[in-house]
Structure 1
Amino acid sequence: MALRKDGDCFVAKCAPRNDNAVLHPSSFILPMKRSFSLRRGADFQRVWEGGKSFAHPLVVGRVRANGTDARRFGFVAGKKIGKATARNRAKRLLRESVRRYLPQIVPGWDVILIARGAAPQSEFKEIASAVENILRRANLLRNS
């Protein structure tokens, strides 16, 4: 659905002109910036080997201080999760969960979140709760 600017709000183009289907700008989801991503294999390896692990039935988290002011995240969904669509869904759910907590997360840490078998079938609320649980146990949330 394409959007057009109408004053301070955005209106769906596909909506009839007489229908005032107005979407507030704050309801739009912005993707997580690339600077928050662990991209290099060496970075993943460093967190994997030297990080502390926190487990939950839906997600496993590994965290390690990175010595900078950056917060970086990696998302993993192995073949045990299922086919590509299930793995991608699990990673999307994890990514969105982290994006919601990003302002509260303490800088200076690298975090890998690994989806477990039931993650793709779980609802977003359950995944978000699991991610919050891991971040709190790792003392990475500011107001914990």
Structure 2
Amino acid sequence: MVQHKGRWWSNPLLLLRALPNDREATRFGFLVSKRVGNAVTRNRVRRRLREILRREPVAAGWDLVFIARSKIAEAPFAEIERSTKELLGRGQVYHPPPQAAQPRGDSR
């Protein structure tokens, strides 16, 4: 369903397909083909993506499918995280947390 009716955005590491659903939860899917690497590498990529999405505030009511590109295998975690946040932002499903107020000067 997401493949045929959803919208998509991409960058060098990932392709994101998104489709709104009528559920309260967002569902995630991960496609990591053999082009990315062997089973160990593919599973590491999936674990990294799951961890990034676990920590990020994603809007409810979406079906999201992340398709990994071959360059993701060599990318450091921080770059994958930045790439994922970028795609979620472009798809308008990412809600970054508000910045904490910085203390001003001495509080005495």
| TM-score normalised by length of structure 2 | 0.84
Q: How many residues align?
A: 97
Matched with 1:37 is: none
The separation in 2 between residues aligned to 1:123 and 1:143, in whole angstroms, is 21
Is 1:130 matched up with 2:83? yes
The separation in 1 between residues aligned to 2:55 and 2:11, in whole angstroms, is 19
Q: Relative contact order: is structure 1 or structure 2 higher (C-alpha 8 Å, sep ≥ 6)?
A: 2
Residue segments in structure 2 that go unaligned for 5+ positions in a row: 98-108
Q: Which amino acid aligns with 1:72?
A: R
The separation in 2 between residues aligned to 1:115 and 1:143, in whole angstroms, is 23
Q: Which amino acid aligns with 1:126?
A: E
Identity between Structure 1 and Structure 2 (%): 35
Matched with 1:112 is: 65
Return the offset for 1:48: 1.4
Q: Which amino acid aligns with 2:50?
A: R
Is 1:92 matched up with 2:47? yes
RMSD value, Cα:
1.3
Q: Which amino acid aligns with 1:51?
A: G
Local SS of the residue matching 2:35: helix
Q: How do 1:64-79 residues align onto structure 2 when only pairs under 5 Å count?
A: 64-79=19-34
| Segments of 4+ moved more than 3 angstroms | none
Return the offset for 1:142: 2.6
Matched with 2:106 is: none
| TM-score normalised by length of structure 1 | 0.64
Residue segments in structure 1 that go unaligned for 5+ positions in a row: 1-45
Local SS of the residue matching 2:50: helix
